[in-house]
């Protein structure tokens, strides 16, 4: 049983210094009360133990000078108050400080375990450290006595040494154990407390009896019995405290003239004997208590070791049973043989794979045949030297040896074998153990992984094709043609076409690949039946392996394209409208269209819708940049480009070229009386009427406002007049126009020719509704057409 120590409360170092100073004060005072008459020696010196404990505990740099200062101050104060002179004061200060400091330093240097751990080695260290410190302190005492004029004899030296030695041995252990709050143990059982009380009581009676009851008799040996009893039965803390108390009784009794030591006549000898007696009891008690503690600890460890051995044996038995169960139920096959290769053991898995149990009478050379062992290919019989068990015995270890167990009445089992020999303590080979692991699942996973890798590679190829096709489609001048070409490549098809609504209720081909260039496919959205319409109307991809027999197939489209298998992918724009159908044609049968190809075609169709919208927008923007928004005629910007091109052609071909400028007469009045909307309608109607009078190679442009420009390649001015008169006659709504004409001459640019036409037009404005032919030389006027 252990008595728990009081909870530890952290006390500041300075507060501990004050507490030690107070305790040291009391110890020094008690020591000075025991000074022998006619000498400067004290009978006891507990201050030596207090100082040693003090400096052993207080070793921080922050309190070092405070502790030394307090120790010096207390020593000086008490000794001065009790009559010590200056020499003694100085000597006592120096010897006390040096002795305590040396004890603390040596203890910290050699007494490495904590104060709570105390054994024979620690006791020996304590005695050695105490002896060394007291020897140095005694040397200081000798010097002090010499300086003080006191006689120095061996007995005085011995008394000085033993009183300090006894003071440290009695006081220091008690203080250190109290400071470190070492737990106090007592004997187990209900009578432990009573035994402790009895032992302490008998010890007290023995000391009182020896020193006061039987005066004069040399019975100092009797207390030894109680000291031994306490040391063998009770905790070390109880022993050291009891030794301190009994030492105090011994000293008090002797000083008061009682007990066996009072009979010694010489005072110094008496003190020496008392101190030796006290020190002997202290060392005896410590030695016995420590021996008892070590023996108890050894017995505890022995008991624990015994318990561990018993538990280890039980664990080994459990482990053996567990190992047998594991071997029996392991998913791996286990085969064990002796050193000659004779089979000793198959576990359940090995027996199931082989269909047989281990046969120790079988010749090892017959293992492969008897247990159906084959090479990794599953068909080559295994040679005896290649049997993993025999290889293990020959080589010592075998790793990753693949074989196949191919029983005639069961499926083959591919296994990988690892084995090693079993070696005894003396290095002798006792046998071999081989573990076989089923590779069936691994082989299946490898096959599945290979298939998955192939699919992944196909998918990656398709994705790369889609990425390349997307780039091509987005960059192509004709994205529709690029989409058809990409679809053919991605699907490995023979041809492809793109059909889109024409705005008249039909789907017509806008691009083809792998089909005749002059082939135009067309289906009526409302009346025809075809697979392309199925995809268009339901906005779903369609794949048909046998197109010819499908009820929705169009015979005309099938025959025109030579389709055997086909796929149709709707092209849907960002608003969810189907803007076309991409048809993919195989002229050989394709049983299944893999999901990767389907997904890639869907992605291509999405890119196609974006590309078409982008291309159409570019076309619209290009047209808007070169055409008049109101009339649809080419604008002034486009006119300038065409004029330069036609002048260049006329120059090369030496052909005539005529320019004309037309102006609607009284257009402002028409606008003001009928409104701007009517004026806009007149401009549109005039543009349409004038265009009908022109050839395809002629150019009609809205020059600005109500003015129009005409470019007539290969036409001289005289011939152009007839054309322009027809245009004047075709002005709608009873309106008229005036025309200025100028024929291009080599070396002139478009601006010069148009300037001539403009001068002619200006002349015609005097009469209006005329055609005026102008040139740099002269101007000819014609009457209005009738």
Catalytic residues: 706
What SS3 state is found at 167? helix
Q: At what angle do helices 86-110 and 120-148 cross, to 10 degrees?
A: 160
Least Cα distance to 662 among 699, 611, 696 occurs for 699
Q: Which of 393, 350, 392 is nearest to 373 (CA)?
A: 350
Report the C-alpha gap between 53 and 111 in whole angstroms. Answer: 13
Helix then strand then coil, % of the chain, to nearest 5: 55, 15, 30
In DSSP terms, which residues pair with 191 in a beta bridge?
none
Per the rule left: phi > 0, alpha: psi between -120 and 50, beta: everything else, 3 is beta
| Helix/strand/coil for 367 | helix
Phi, psi at residue 643, to the nearest 5°?
A: -60, -45
* Neighbour-count burial for 679-689, b at 16+ CB within 10 Å, e otherwise: beebbbbbbee
For residues 54 and 100, give the distance between their C-alpha atoms in angstroms, rounded to a whole number: 8
Residues with Cβ within 8 Å of residue 74, at least 6 apart in sequence: 21, 24, 25, 28
CA–CA distance, 310 with 333 (Å, rounded to integer): 33
> Tokens 């624990």 appear where?
304
CA distances to 54, 66, 173, 258 from 9, in Å: 18, 22, 21, 43
User: Alpha carbon of 262 to those of 215, 254, 259: distances in Å?
Assistant: 9, 5, 6
User: How many residues can be counted in the chain?
Assistant: 786
Helices (H), 476-541: 479-491, 531-538
Distances (CA, A) of 59 to 26, 107, 165: 22, 12, 22
Which among 435, 448, 434, 371 has a CA at the least distance from the CA of 404? 371
Query: CB of 129 within 8 A of CB of 110?
Result: yes
Q: How many CA atoms lie within 13 A of 704 on its CB side?
A: 2
Residue of 582, 554, 580 lying closest to 493 (CA atoms): 582
Tokens at 48, concatenated: 């030596």
For 492, the 3-state DSSP assignment is coil
Provide DSSP, 648-659.
HHHHHHT--EEE
């Amino acid at each position: 049983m252990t008595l728990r120590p009081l909870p530890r409360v952290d006390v500041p170092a300075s507060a501990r210094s004050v507490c030690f100073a107070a305790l040291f004060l009391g110890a020094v005072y008690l020591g000075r009360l025991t000074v022998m008459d006619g000498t400067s020696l004290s009978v006891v010196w507990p201050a030596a133990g207090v100082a040693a404990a003090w400096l052993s505990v207080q070793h921080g740099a922050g309190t070092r000078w405070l502790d030394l200062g307090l120790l010096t101050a207390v020593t000086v104060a008490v000794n001065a108050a009790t009559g010590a002179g200056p020499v003694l004061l100085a000597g006592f200060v120096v010897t006390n400080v040096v002795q305590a400091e040396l004890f603390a330093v040596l203890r910290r240097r050699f007494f490495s375990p904590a104060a709570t751990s105390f054994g024979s080695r620690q006791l020996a260290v304590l005695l050695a450290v105490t002896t060394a410190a007291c020897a140095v302190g005694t040397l200081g005492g000798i010097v002090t006595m010499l300086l003080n004029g006191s006689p120095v004899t061996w007995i005085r030296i011995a008394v000085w040494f033993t009183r300090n030695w006894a003071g440290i041995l009695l006081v220091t252990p008690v203080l250190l154990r109290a400071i470190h709050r070492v737990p106090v143990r007592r004997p187990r059982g209900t009578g432990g407390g009573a035994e402790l009380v009895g032992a302490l009581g008998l010890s007290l009676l023995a000391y009182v009896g020896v020193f006061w009851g039987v005066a004069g008799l040399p019975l100092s040996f009797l207390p030894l019995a109680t000291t031994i009893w306490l040391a063998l039965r009770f905790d070390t803390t109880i022993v050291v405290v009891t030794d301190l108390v009994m030492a105090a009784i011994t000293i008090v009794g002797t000083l008061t003239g009682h007990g066996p030591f009072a009979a010694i006549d010489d005072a110094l000898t008496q003190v020496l004997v008392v101190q030796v007696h006290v020190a002997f009891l202290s060392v005896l008690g410590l030695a016995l208590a420590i021996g008892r503690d070590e023996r108890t600890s050894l017995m505890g460890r022995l008991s624990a070791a015994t318990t561990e051995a018993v538990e280890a044996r039980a664990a080994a038995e459990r482990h053996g049973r567990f190992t047998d169960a594991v071997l029996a139920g392991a998913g791996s096959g286990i085969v064990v043989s002796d050193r000659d290769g004779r089979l000793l053991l198959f576990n359940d898995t090995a027996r199931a794979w082989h269909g047989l149990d281990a046969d120790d009478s079988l010749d090892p050379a017959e293992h492969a045949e008897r247990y159906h062992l084959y090479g990794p290919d599953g068909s080559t019989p295994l040679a005896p030297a290649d049997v993993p068990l025999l290889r293990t015995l020959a080589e010592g270890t075998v790793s990753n040896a693949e074989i196949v167990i191919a029983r005639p009445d069961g499926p083959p089992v591919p296994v990988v074998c690892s084995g090693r020999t079993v070696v005894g303590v003396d290095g002798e080979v006792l046998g071999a153990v081989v573990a076989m692991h089923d590779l069936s699942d691994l082989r299946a996973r490898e096959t599945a992984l290979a298939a998955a890798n192939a699919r992944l590679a196909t998918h990656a190829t398709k994705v790369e094709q889609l990425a390349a096709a997307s780039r091509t489609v987005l960059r192509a001048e004709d994205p529709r043609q690029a989409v058809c070409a990409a679809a053919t490549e991605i699907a490995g098809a023979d041809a492809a076409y793109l059909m889109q609504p024409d705005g008249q209720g039909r789907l017509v081909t806008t691009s083809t690949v792998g089909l005749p260039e002059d082939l135009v496919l067309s289906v009526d959205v409302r009346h025809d039946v075809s697979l392309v319409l199925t995809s268009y109307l339901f906005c779903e991809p369609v794949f048909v392996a046998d197109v010819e027999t499908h009820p929705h197939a169009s015979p005309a489209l099938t025959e025109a394209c030579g389709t055997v298998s086909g796929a149709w992918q709707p092209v849907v724009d960002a608003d969810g409208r189907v803007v076309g159908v991409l048809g993919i044609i195989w002229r050989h049968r394709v049983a299944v269209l893999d999901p990767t190809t389907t997904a890639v075609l869907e992605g291509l169709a999405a890119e196609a819708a974006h590309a078409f919208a982008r291309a159409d927008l570019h076309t619209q923007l290009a047209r808007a940049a070169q055409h008049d928004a109101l009339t649809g005629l080419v604008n002034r910007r486009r006119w300038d480009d065409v004029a330069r091109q036609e002048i260049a052609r006329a120059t090369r071909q030496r052909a005539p070229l005529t320019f004309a400028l037309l102006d609607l007469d009284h257009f402002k009045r028409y606008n003001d009386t009928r409104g701007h909307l009517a004026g806009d309608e007149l401009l549109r109607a005039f543009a349409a009427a004038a265009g009908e009078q022109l050839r395809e190679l002629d150019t009609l442009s809205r020059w600005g406002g109500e003015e129009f420009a005409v470019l007539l390649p290969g036409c001289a001015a005289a011939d152009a007049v007839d054309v322009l008169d027809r245009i004047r006659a075709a002005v709608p709504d009873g309106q008229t126009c005036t025309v200025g004409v100028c024929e291009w001459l080599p070396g002139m640019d478009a601006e010069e020719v148009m300037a001539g036409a403009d001068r002619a037009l200006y002349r015609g404005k005097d009469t209006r509704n005329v055609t005026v032919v102008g040139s740099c030389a002269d101007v000819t006027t014609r009457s209005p057409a009738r």
